[in-house]
Amino acid sequence: MAWTQKILRVNLTDGTAKSEPLNMEWAAEYLGQRGLATKYLMEEMDPKVDPLSADNKLIFTTGPLTGTCASTAGRYSVVTKGPLTGAIACSNSGGFLGPELKSAGWDMIIFEGQAPDPVYLYVEDDKAELRPADAIWGKSVWETDAILHKAHQDPQLRIACVGRSAEQGCLYAGVVNDLHRAAGRSGVGTVMAAKNLKAVAVRGTKGVGNIKDPARFFQAVADGKAVLAENAVTGQGLPAFGTQVLMNVINEAGALPTRNMREVQFEGAGKISGEAMKEKRPTDGRSNLVTNAACFSCTIACGRISVIDQGHFTIANKPEYWGASGGLEYEAAWALGSDTGVDDLDALTYANFVCNEDGFDPISFGSTLAAAMELYENGHITDKETGGLSLKFGSAEALTKAAELVASGEGFGKDLGMGSKRLCEKYGHPDLAMHVKGQEFPAYDPRGIQGMGLTYATSNRGACHLRSYTVASEILGIPEKTDPLVAEGKPGLVKAFQDATAAVDSSGLCLFTTFAWSLENIAPQVDAACEGEWSAETLAEVGERIWNLERQFNLAAGFTAKDDTLPKRFFKEAAASGPAEGKVSAVVEMLPEYYELRGWSSDGVPTDETCQRLGL
C-alpha cells in the first residue's frame, strides 16, 4: 500500500492529538503529499481565512514513496494558506524528517487552531503529545535543535522547527529540518509560529513497508537509480557542483537576474559560481565547498556543505560560524548575490548560514533586499528609514547586516521581513517589487527564458521555479531543446511541466530526479509500491487534477486572471545585454493559449467540462 493510512490530527487550541484513517479514495485521486494535503485543506477550510489566524490549517505531509529505498525518497511538504501571498502554499523539503514521520507510522499531521502558549509536538511512533516550548521559544533553529536533542537524549530524533524570524512575523519564514534543509518558500514557517508551534520532533522505529509488490519495486528502483547515475546532470553535474552548476550557464544565456532584475547578466557571476566554491581561497588555502551531501536515500547528493574563511569580516569574531554547514544552492547564490550585486562568496555563504540558522527564505530575502537597494538608490528610502544601513548595490556589509536584522526582527529588518510587495507599497513604488501574487521571483529572467515568464505568471503559489522548470528544456535541452527566446509552443510546455511536477511533488520523490527521469521512469516505482494502477498517463492526470484544485483554492481565496501577470519591468524594459538583448516578456501573448490548453475560460476559471473530466 505504501501509505501508512494514518493521519495525526493535532488541535493546538485544546491540546489534543488524535489518530484517524487516511481517506484512501482521495489518495487514489491525489496520490499523497502536495496533492492529498491540498485536497484536505480544500475540503476542511475556507480559502478566505486569514493565513495567520487560528482558522488556517498547517499540514506536514509525506508521499507514498517517502521513506522507501527509491532514490531521493526523503521528501515531505508543508501545506497551508500562505501569508506572503494569501494563496495556496506548499513547500517541499528533503533531509530526514519525512522518512522519520513515515517510520513512526504517519502519512500526515494536520495542525488546527492555535496553542494558548508556545508548544512543540513530540512524536514517538504511536505516541504523540504537545509539550511546553518555554526552553526553545525565542531561540534560533540551530539552538532549538541542540536543546531538543539534549532534552530527549536521542541523537536519532528528527526535528523541524521555526527560527526567530518566524516568531518576529517575517512573512517568508520557513520550516527548517535537520539544521539546513527547509520547506523554505511562501512563509509556511510564519504560519507555524503564528500557531505558537515551535517544533515538531519525531522518532519512528516501525520502518516503512506496505509495498504492494516488493520484488517489482526493487527492480523498478534499481532501474531508476541506473538512469540517474548515467545521466550527465544527475550523475555528474549535481553531485560535483550542486545546483550552482547553473550560475555561469544562466549568466551566459542572458537570464541571470541582476540588481533587482534591472539587468540580465552579472559581471561577478564567476566569483559566486559552483566552480568558485571549489577553488582554494588565497586567504586561507581552503575552498568554500567542503563536500557534497545527500538527503535520505538520495543517489544524486546535490547538497553543499561549506566553510567560511575564519578571517572573513563576517565571522572573524564569531567562532560559532567557523564550522561547516549548509552551503549555497543556486537560488540562494543568485538572490543573495547577483540580485544585490554582491560578488563576495563568503559573505553570501554567511548570509545563507543566517537564513538557515533563523529560518527564512534566502530567495525572498535577497529579492526584497534588492528592491530596498533600488528604493535606496533612487532616494525613496534613506538612512533615516534603514537605521543608518547604507543599502548600496554590491555592499557585502549591507547584505550580511540585513540578514542579521531579518533574523532578529530588529530595525529595518521588520520592513525587509514584509517581503518586496509590501515594502515597495509602503514606500510608494510598488512597481519596484519583483513578485507574482506577492512572492518574489526565483533565478531566471523571463525576458531571457520566455517559458519561465508564463511559469511565474500562472504559478499557484506566486513566482516560483519549482512549479514548472522549463529551464530544463529551454536551456538544458531536457527532454528536448526549445528556443528560450521564443514564445511559440511554451504554453503547452508549461502545462506539461506543471502537471508532471505536481505529480512528482505528491509522490515523496525529489523534483531533481526529473533532470533524468520522466513520468515513464517514476510510474513503475509508484505502481509497484501503491495499491491501484499507476501509469505515466495516470500520474499526469493526477498532476493536472492537483493543478486545477490549487487554482480553485486561489479563485475561492479571491485571486483572478488579473493576478496572472508579471511586474511592469518585464514588459517595458527590454533586456540590455546577452542573447536576449532587446527582448521583453511575451506573457500577455501566451496566456490565452495557456488558458485554452488548461480547459479554462478566458477569465482563467476551470470550465464545468474540465472539472467534470478531472472529478473536481
Residues that bind ligand SF4 (CB under 6 A): 72, 74, 94, 294-295, 298, 300-303, 510, 512
Check whether the bond before 257 is cis (ω within 30° of 0).
Answer: no
Please report how close the Cβ of residue 242 comes to ligand SF4 at its closest, in angstroms.
8
Please report how close the Cβ of residue 290 comes to ligand SF4 at its closest, in angstroms.
15
Strand 197-203 with 119-124, pairing: parallel
Q: What are phi and psi of 290, to 5 degrees?
A: -90, -50
For ligand SF4, the closer CB: 332 or 389? 332
Cell, residue 132: 511546553
Each residue of 265-303: b (16+ CB within 10 Å) or e?
Answer: bbebbebbbbbbbeeebeeeeeebbbebbbbbbbbbbbb
For ligand SF4, the closer CB: 314 or 513? 513
In angstroms, the CA 351 to CA 300 distance is: 26
In angstroms, the CA 36 to CA 42 distance is: 10
Please report how close the Cβ of residue 148 comes to ligand SF4 at its closest, in angstroms.
23
Please report how close the Cβ of residue 298 comes to ligand SF4 at its closest, in angstroms.
3
For ligand SF4, the closer CB: 436 or 510? 510
Amino acid code (one letter) for 371: A
Give the closest residue to 164 by CA, choosing from 190, 183, 187. 190
Please report how close the Cβ of residue 331 comes to ligand SF4 at its closest, in angstroms.
12
Please report how close the Cβ of residue 339 comes to ligand SF4 at its closest, in angstroms.
22
For ligand SF4, the closer CB: 89 or 504? 504
For ligand SF4, the closer CB: 361 or 385? 361
Please report how close the Cβ of residue 224 comes to ligand SF4 at its closest, in angstroms.
13
379: helix, strand or coil: coil
Q: Max alpha carbon distance in the chain (Å)?
A: 67
Please report how close the Cβ of residue 305 comes to ligand SF4 at its closest, in angstroms.
11
Q: Do 96 and 10 contact (CB within 8 A), yes or no?
A: no
Q: How many CA atoms lie within 13 A of 103 on its CB side?
A: 21
Please report how close the Cβ of residue 412 comes to ligand SF4 at its closest, in angstroms.
32
Please report how close the Cβ of residue 228 comes to ligand SF4 at its closest, in angstroms.
9
**What is the Cα 16 distance to its own chain's centre?**
30
For ligand SF4, the closer CB: 72 or 352? 72
In angstroms, the CA 531 to CA 509 distance is: 18
CB atoms within 10 A of CB 306: 22
Please report how close the Cβ of residue 532 comes to ligand SF4 at its closest, in angstroms.
25
For ligand SF4, the closer CB: 182 or 405? 182
Please report how close the Cβ of residue 176 comes to ligand SF4 at its closest, in angstroms.
14
For ligand SF4, the closer CB: 249 or 432? 249
Please report how close the Cβ of residue 515 comes to ligand SF4 at its closest, in angstroms.
9
Amino acid code (one letter) for 210: N
Quickly tell me which residue has 551566459 as its cell: 252
Beta strands across the sheet bearing 127-132: 127-132, 119-124, 197-203, 158-161, 175-177, 181-183
Question: CB neighbours of 489 closer than 8 A, spacing ≥ 6?
Answer: 482
For ligand SF4, the closer CB: 365 or 512? 512
DSSP assignments along 108-120, one per residue = EEEEES--SS-EE
For ligand SF4, the closer CB: 24 or 232? 232
Helix (H) or strand (E) run with residue 346 in it: helix 345-358
Q: What are phi and psi of 133, to 5 degrees?
A: -110, 25
In angstroms, the CA 51 to CA 173 distance is: 13
For ligand SF4, the closer CB: 359 or 446? 359
For ligand SF4, the closer CB: 295 or 463? 295
Q: How many CA atoms lie within 13 A of 522 on its CB side?
A: 30
Please report how close the Cβ of residue 466 comes to ligand SF4 at its closest, in angstroms.
11
In angstroms, the CA 97 to CA 391 distance is: 38
For ligand SF4, the closer CB: 370 or 510? 510
Question: CB neighbours of 331 closer than 8 A, spacing ≥ 6?
Answer: 243, 362, 363, 442, 443, 465
Strand 289-293 with 303-306, pairing: antiparallel
In angstroms, the CA 259 to CA 582 distance is: 18
For ligand SF4, the closer CB: 294 or 611? 294
Please report how close the Cβ of residue 551 comes to ligand SF4 at its closest, in angstroms.
27
For ligand SF4, the closer CB: 298 or 315? 298
In angstroms, the CA 226 to CA 517 distance is: 11
In angstroms, the CA 161 to CA 147 distance is: 12
